[in-house]
Amino acid sequence: MSTQKTVKQPTMFLAILPIITMVILLCLGYVFFELPPEPLIIFSAVVAGIIAIYLGYSYQDILESVSQKIAKTMPAILILIMVGFMIGAWMVGGTIPMMIYYGLKIINPQFLLITAFLVTSVVSLCTGTSWGSAGTIGVAFMGVAAGMDANLAAVAGAVIAGAYFGDKLSPLSDTTNIAALSTGVNLYEHIAHLLYTTFPSFLVAGTVFFITGLSGTNNGAAIPEKVVTIMGTLDAIFNWNLLLVVPIIIVLLGSILKKPTIPVMMVSSLFAMANGLIFEGFTLHDVIASVVNGFNLSMVHIPGFDASKVIEDIPTLLNRGGMNSMMGTLLICFCAITFAGTISVTKSLDLIINKMLEFVHSTGSLIVTTIITGLTMIGVTSNGQISILMPGEMLRAAYIKRGLHPKNLGRTIEDSASIIEPILPWTAAGAYMAGTLGVATLDYLPWAVLCWTGIIFATIWGFTGFGIAKLNHDEQAQMIIEIESEKARAEESA
């Protein structure tokens, strides 16, 4: 029988070899040669599989482990698909365009920095995409700043800080969903716990931008023509009314009342789709196409409107969303889950974590260890999704065994990986933000206050105990049983 099979325990070298392989491949292939990360992760999983077979495990054992990981993460994967669905619905229903329109409308030159920060925060919170927010409304604010001869580095920092604040707290964000997925925490519970470090960072950043703006001297400058053109085009395409805000209210109420994520998103999407049909003049075919493939200007049927003649910022602003837009993120997730499932067969992660935790003697030192792990992962792999998935997989059991809720882990991973990414020049996010906003990463880094203050608050809270969620005896026992059951199933399949 397979349960009588003799297997060997991995040495430390064999345990870390797949991780070293992945780090080297991503560092060389992804960062320097710009190769797609998915095949590099799969090749790393192949190395882990070869080691597992060398230690006495079978190919079927590996498949069983990967299957268990996928089954465990399937609810979060469905949420990611639903995120794309809802963004497409909010676009065709006019909800996101209205947020952008009125965000640009309220610009006051004296409060440019704080306005850029707050408006980008709202847009990112509503859309769940930091890149999309920076690449659309962020670019508009940079145009305003250029026309006013303002400090471009400061405005870029405000845009990025706002974009990542909204992204971090949005139930539509892929990284937020992945963090909840990797730590086994309810999405809304994870978002609520993020506030302990994110809200203080938000206040610090807002104070900096407000005070800096008050000292500006270019308060009489005019709004650039590009921004006026963007607003005019949005106003021509969409019909504004208060019902367009209802989809946002539905999601916010669902979050506050802690209702199931997917049904809340579906109700919000259906309301937005109805808005698209009733108020925005789109056909049923347009609405369905938008939630599947994303909104596109070709759907606009206004007499005299020619999508090919609008300025290039408009398609960048509006052509987004749809379930298919999430396929890239999902592919990376499946590849990373395959790697994690393969390496888990040999219990290599247990060996590595036990060695790391020899230096951990308090909650504070565990938080610092998590921060170092997150910073190392994002610094080396340059990929936000991988930098969240791997530490979550590796450290979850350690938190539970110490009586700490895994939502502490999810929060710390986000503080040290997802919002750090845009202030590192060699990462994909750093390169994107610098290229999109036209400001070098190291120039806007000091101004992206929210992105680097999170780890400061995380460290302080770790050593003081403030904002650290503990497990009661029953919760801890239940989670330990779940962990042991997973191990038992893996051993049984072996």
| Residues counted in the chain | 494
The sign of the CA dihedral 210, 212, 214, 219 is negative
pTM recorded for the entire structure: 0.72
pLDDT value for 382: 64
What pLDDT is attached to residue 492?
60
Q: How many CB atoms lie within 10 A of CB 230?
A: 24
User: What is 101-168 written as a DSSP string?
Assistant: HHHHHT--GGGHHHHHHHHHHHHHHHH--HHHHIIIIIHHHHHHHHHHT--HHHHHHHHHHHHHHHHH
Q: 439 to each of 154, 159, 242, how far by Cα in Å?
A: 10, 12, 37
Q: What is the spatial distance between Cα 252 and Cα 261, in angstroms, rounded to a whole number?
A: 11
Per-residue model confidence (pLDDT) at position 237: 94
- Whose tokens are 């992206």? That residue is 448
DSSP letter at 470?
B
Q: Is residue 473 part of a domain?
A: no
Q: Domain for residue 472, yes or no?
A: no
Burial (Cβ within 10 Å: 0-12, 13-18, ≥19) of residue 390: buried
- Please write the tens of the pLDDT for every residue from 158-212: 999 999 998 888 887 878 888 898 888 888 899 999 999 999 999 999 999 999 8
Residue 10 lies in a domain: no
Q: Total structural domains in the chain? A: 1
- What tokens appear for 136 in the block? 């659309």
Q: Is residue 218 part of a domain?
A: yes
Residues near 144 by Cβ (< 8 Å), separated by ≥ 6?
107, 112, 150, 155, 223, 224, 227
Q: Which amino acid is at 9?
A: Q
Integer Cα distance of 185 and 12 in angstroms: 30
State pLDDT tens for residues 408-417: 999 999 999 8
Q: What's the CA gap between 414 and 433, in Å, rounded?
A: 19
Q: Is 380 part of any domain?
A: no
Contacts of 199 (CB under 8 A, 6+ apart): none
CA dihedral 422, 427, 432, 434 (to 10 degrees): 70
Q: Specify the pLDDT at position 220.
A: 54
- 292 lies in some domain: yes
At residue 403, φ and ψ (nearest 5 deg) are 75, 20
Which whole-number Å values give the CA distances from 42 to 4, 12, 328, in the listed order? 30, 22, 15
Tokens at 427, concatenated = 């990462």
Q: Which residues contact 34 (CB under 8 A, 6 or more apart)?
A: none
Q: How far does CA 272 lie from the centroid of its chain?
A: 23
> Are 116 and 139 contacting, i.e. CB atoms less than 8 angstroms apart?
no
For the four alpha carbons of 353, 346, 47 and 335, in that order, the dihedral sign comes to negative
CB atoms within 10 A of CB 16: 17
Find where tokens 């090749």 sit.
Answer: 43
Partnered with residue 470 across adjacent β-strands are 404
Question: 300 φ, ψ to 5°?
Answer: -75, 125
CA distance 288 to 26: 37
Q: Which amino acid is at 40?
A: L
Residue type, 115: T
Q: What do you get for the CA distance between the two ends of the chain, in Å?
A: 10
> Residue 248's domain spans which residues?
77-326
pLDDT attached to residue 2: 43
What stretches of 26-89 adopt beta strand conformation (E)? none
**Which parts of the chain register pLDDT below 70?**
1-5, 31, 76, 135-136, 143, 147-149, 216-224, 380-383, 428, 486-494
Nearest to 409 by CA among 483, 469, 485, 349: 469
Residue 187 domain-assigned (yes or no): yes
Please state the separation of Cα 41 from the chain's center in Å. 19
Q: Which residue has the tokens 């070899």?
A: 17
Burial class (CB in 10 A: 0-12, 13-18, 19+), 300: buried
For residue 404, what are the β-bridge partners? 470
Q: Where are the beta strands (DSSP E) in 177-281?
A: none
46 assigned to some structural domain? no
DSSP for residue 404? B
